[in-house]
Structure 1
Amino acid sequence: MLGMGEAEAAPLLLAAREDGAKTGRAGGGGATWAQTLGNVVVSIVGTGVLGLPYAFRTAGWLAGSLGVAAAGCATLYCMLLLVSTVDCRDKLEEEETEEPCDVLYTYGDLGDKCFGTLGRCLTEILIFVSQAGGSVAYLIFIAQNLHSMFTQLMSPAGFIFAILLPVQTALSFVCSMSSLSPFSIVADACNVLAMAIVIKDDVQLFDHPFANRSAFNGLWAIPFTFGVAVFCFEGFSMTLALEASMAERRKFRWVLSQAVVCIIFVYACFGVCGYLAYGEATKDIITLNLPNTWSSSAVKVGLCFALAFTFPVMMHPIHEIVEMRIRSIGCFHKLSHNVHGAEWLGLHSSRIAVVIILAVVASFVPAFGSFISFVGSTVSALLAFVLPTAFHLRIVGSSMSLWQRLLDYGFLLFGLVFAGYGMFTAL
């Protein structure tokens, strides 16, 4: 749910980052396999899942299922590449220096170790844009669900500026992740409840479910569905932090694989059930298809409330990157030392400005489904496929077999082509 947060957005269910920092990568943190499994699910599953039935409507129920499976397996492979890259890099440095190497917790750290400052900047820019895309999706989701319940009150854009912007501006002053993390857990619980209620309502609507339901709607629809699926497997840059938090790090690959396989199955079932129930009437946010009952309204209100308080968690990596760049400006550094309160005012002003900009962007996005497909097809594809393979080839490319190098280059090329296609179709 945290999306692609960096080190400060480390595991929610057990914050073991400090233990990992003390023991180094060889030792790990204090999280058990069960806690790590929960952390992986919390980090991956987000609001994008509620757009999956619309993606299945676009591609067809069979093509959608295959797209989700392909996106999940590809994401899992590249997540494991990140862990393998860091492990190989650690062993190489320890052999050269005979001393423990620096602990790597973030995606940006790995980019810096592989390609220097340029690698860190590129990685942080992609994380920034990806987190911003996820935050905008939150605003759109909340605004459209509020509008569905209070249609006569105001438009979705009106809800963004009249309600969400003031609330998020106030919450932007909360800098402590520990104060916000309980809301992320509540939001994930609401997501699970929403998925359960949607599936229940879907099954009740089944009447010859495969009649007039396309299994495959053509090759043109596959990239759209794959982009939505990639967006749904968010939390990619949390991989290293999650692995470092685990007490028995050698089991992390098994835990991660089990979690992703289960999520693939749940995503496919959810997408198929939603599409089979509503057919061509499936909306880009499946909760908008729910009937006007008290249970449906309760789900919408719960999701809106939880996501409104999870929005600052999504924004945390963005604020960190912006504030780090502001602090590096010479004149700001001098001003903060010479004028009392200047640093506080400057940094909090930047937080407010970023929230306002994202609210404006959200008000102009025409469709939730198309937007998350665009984010997944471009930025998320670069983060999930291009960077991990580039890092892996950089660190251990010379020691890999020919087929391993070909596989990595295949994922690298696919990520670049897919991101280019996503940008082209959006424009």
Structure 2
Amino acid sequence: MEVHNDEKLETQHSDLQPSEGTTFLRTCFNGVNAMSGVGILSVPYALSEGGWFGLLLLLVMAVVCWYTGLLLRRCMNANPLIKTYADLGELAFGYKGKLIVAFFLYLELYLVAIEFLILEGDNLNKLFPNMSFKVANLRVEGKQGFTLLAAALFLPTTWLRSMGLLAYISAGGVLASIILVVCVFWVGAVDGVGFHERGQFLKWGGMPTAVSLYAFCYCGHAVFPTLCTSMKDKRQFSKVLAICFVVCTVNYGSMAILGYLMYGDSVKSQVTLNLPVKKLSSKIAIYMTLINPFTKYAIMITPLATAIEDHFQFYKSKYSICILIRTVLVISTVVVALVVPLFGYLMSLIGAFLSVTASMLLPCICYLKISKAHRSNGLELLVIIGILILGSLVAVLGTYMSLRQIISHL
């Protein structure tokens, strides 16, 4: 796998790294927070769609996405000036390649940010029905009002350009995800729901949907170059990736098993919707669900905002313009969230079409173009080709199923 070559390149570039940056631990928090998102609510539903065999698919997806994350790191070693995922596309295929990569990358991040707003509006409206808000002389009702309120709370976090500062918010997100799993376990073990459902071993019909949702769970690749660039010691980024994927996979797997054992094939697209609302543990779980988007929204918006700021060279000199850019981005996500409030189907589509492309296909394609290491390693080339075939199948079948579901519910 040319590990020695990677270490040599990283050593050569270490003198180019800034003396200041995000520490190893803070980068781990940012990475885990970026990956352990709202997908944790849907892994029990994904397991019910594909059966217990889906646990193996979850593990395979984790290993594949971890490996493609390493491929991204190797591509960054080819040029120390690379700071974003789009820069890798330009290095591999020129300006057109940069535009194509940027399209998939930033559309994925943008839609995930919209998902956070929809999630907040739906769950807050369920907790506090019949609420209304007054904005100037306009009264806004229910879910729309909560969506606007969530955006107002998210907005200040997007103004933090330092990934080190965002790490403190990310730590809260990681803790919220862990507490969420603990609360679901408590509902099953103590609050009387139990773990009595047997489920099914394999369900071919729901497999495309299941794999699409698993892909969504590991859609952090769009943020990886930004996290790596922000590090004080970039040579440790490979260790950061390993920790992030292990922590997230344990968390996802635990939630999937608990939810499926508790509710079987009747589990809903968000497992919190199955929980008995009168139980304290259920309420805590729902509140943790609401906290999660607050800790992750800025992580999704920052790469897109940074790309715009770098393009117009605003990043270092005009902070007020940077705030304006980020504010406009937040406002635009609010508009889309209010117009297209389709949480579950949008998540599946993002996973199948955008997450698979950004997390599996593009890293392999860019690596094959940029690096020559695979030419002397036939096994690595076979692995990459296998990932490309698998990713293409998931993208085609998953996108077809997602679009069919969306159209049927319009």
> Shorter-chain TM-score: what band?
0.7 to 0.9
For 1:53-132, list aligned pairs within 5 A: 53-60=44-51, 62-87=52-77, 89-90=78-79, 102-132=80-110
Q: Aligned pair 1:215/2:210, yes or no?
A: no
Question: Per-residue CA shift, 1:153-193, capped at 9, x if unaligned?
Answer: 58xx9544212225525754763335765433323322221
Partner amino acid, structure 2, of 1:382 = T
Structure 2: runs of 5+ lacking an equivalent: 1-12, 133-139, 315-319, 404-410
Q: Aligned pair 1:135/2:152, yes or no?
A: no
Q: Aligned pair 1:48/2:24, yes or no?
A: no
| Equivalent residue number for residue 413 of structure 1 | 389
| Equivalent residue number for residue 31 of structure 1 | 23
Structure 2 CA distance for aligned equivalents of residues 158 and 244 of structure 1 = 43
Tell me, yes or no, if the aligned pair for 1:128 and 1:321 is still in contact at 8 Å.
no
Structure 2 CA distance for aligned equivalents of residues 418 and 378 of structure 1 = 8
Q: Aligned pair 1:423/2:410, yes or no?
A: no
Question: Per-residue CA shift, 1:220-260, capped at 9, x if unaligned?
Answer: 32221111111111321333344455566555434422442
Structure 2 CA distance for aligned equivalents of residues 259 and 351 of structure 1 = 28
Tell me, yes or no, if the aligned pair for 2:115 and 2:347 is still in contact at 8 Å.
yes
Q: 1:199: how far off?
A: 1.8
Matched residue of 2:196: which SS? coil
**Normalising by the residue count of structure 1, what TM-score does the alignment of the two structures yield?**
0.75
Identity across matched positions, percent: 22
Structure 2 CA distance for aligned equivalents of residues 110 and 345 of structure 1 = 26
Structure 1: runs of 5+ lacking an equivalent: 1-20, 91-101, 334-341
**Normalising by the residue count of structure 2, what TM-score does the alignment of the two structures yield?**
0.78
Matched residue of 2:53: which SS? helix
Q: Aligned pair 1:225/2:215, yes or no?
A: no
Q: 1:295: how far off?
A: 3.6
For 1:26-425, list aligned pairs within 5 A: 31-32=23-24, 34-60=25-51, 62-87=52-77, 89-90=78-79, 102-153=80-131, 159-168=142-151, 172=155, 175-178=159-162, 182-204=168-190, 205=192, 207=194, 209-211=196-198, 213-217=199-203, 219-244=204-229, 249-291=234-276, 292-305=278-291, 307-308=293-294, 310-321=296-307, 347=325, 350-351=328-329, 353-363=331-341, 365=342, 368-397=343-372, 399-425=375-401
Matched residue of 1:220: which SS? helix
Q: How many residues align?
A: 374
Tell me, yes or no, if the aligned pair for 1:282 and 1:289 is still in contact at 8 Å.
yes
Structure 2 CA distance for aligned equivalents of residues 63 and 210 of structure 1 = 16
Tell me, yes or no, if the aligned pair for 1:137 and 1:362 is still in contact at 8 Å.
no
